[in-house]
Amino acid sequence: MSEKKQGPKCKAVTRYWLEFYGHDKFGICTLCGNSGIIDTTKTAVTAAGIHVGRKNYCICPNGQWERKAAMKKAVKDDAPGSQG
Ligand SMILES: [Zn+2]
């Protein structure tokens, strides 16, 4: 996937990620370890004890790619004739 096809929003997000969350030495995402997914299902708990976590796509290039692929798959699955 070329950066040109991602559009300006993804470029801005990628720049933001690189500035604040890309590992200085290894270039690895410090949020997700390059998995593309941030799982807060066990860690995001409010002061009242309510679990609000979930699995989110990361803002790093891998996360953006994963999100885009999932969106394409969802559109494909919803296409006429794709469900029985
Ligand atoms: Zn990441």
Expressed in angstroms and rounded, the spacing between residue 83 Cα and the centre of ligand 1 is: 33
Q: Residue 19: in which H helix or E strand, if any?
A: helix 8-20
Expressed in angstroms and rounded, the spacing between residue 2 Cα and the centre of ligand 1 is: 18
pLDDT along the chain (84 residues), means of 10: 57 94 94 97 97 97 94 90 64
For the chain, helix, strand, coil in percent to 5 are: 40, 10, 45
User: Residue 79 CB: number of other CB atoms within 10 A?
Assistant: 8
Expressed in angstroms and rounded, the spacing between residue 22 Cα and the centre of ligand 1 is: 8
Expressed in angstroms and rounded, the spacing between residue 36 Cα and the centre of ligand 1 is: 5
pTM listed for this prediction: 0.76
Query: HSE on the CB side for 17, CA within 13 Å?
Result: 23
Expressed in angstroms and rounded, the spacing between residue 47 Cα and the centre of ligand 1 is: 26
